[in-house]
């Protein structure tokens, strides 16, 4: 499972989290930082995922590398 703490420390955009962890987080599933940043994975300036709200976290149970 992908933990909340892990997500916050990744600094990845949603697309990269989906790709790396094989999950399907959609735009409405995540909270992003108020500004855009460079994703640590793909290097693109995007909305970086800060948090997944509690009621969406079940999706993270399916996460794996
Ligand atoms: Zn990315």
Is residue 64's pLDDT more than 90?
no
Q: How many domains does the chain fold into? A: 1
pLDDT tier at 65, thresholds 50, 70, 90: confident
∠ Cα 52 49 16 (to 5°): 110
Structure token digits, residue 60: 């993270």
Can you give the residue range of the structural domain that contains 54? 4-62
Q: Residue 9 is encoded by which pair of tokens? A: 């420390």
Q: What is the pTM of this model?
A: 0.90
- 45 C-alpha to ligand 1 centroid (Å): 8
- Give residue 54 CA to ligand 1 midpoint distance, Å: 23
Average pLDDT on 25-35 reads: 96
CA of 44 to the centre of ligand 1 (A): 6
Retrieve residue 45's tokens. Answer: 């300036």
| DSSP label at residue 62 | G
Q: Find the 55 Cα to ligand 1 centroid distance in Å.
A: 24
Asked if 13 contacts 44 with a C-beta cutoff of 8 angstroms, the reply is yes
The rounded Å distance from CA 53 to ligand 1 centre is 20
**Which helix (DSSP H) or strand (DSSP E) does residue 14 occupy?**
helix 14-21
């Amino acid at each position: 499972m992908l933990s909340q703490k892990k997500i916050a420390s990744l600094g990845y955009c949603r697309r990269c989290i989906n790709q790396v962890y094989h999950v399907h987080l959609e735009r409405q599933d995540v909270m992003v930082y108020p500004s855009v940043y460079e994703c640590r994975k793909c290097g693109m300036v995007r909305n970086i995922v800060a948090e997944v709200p509690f009621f969406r976290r079940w999706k993270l149970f399916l996460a794996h590398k």
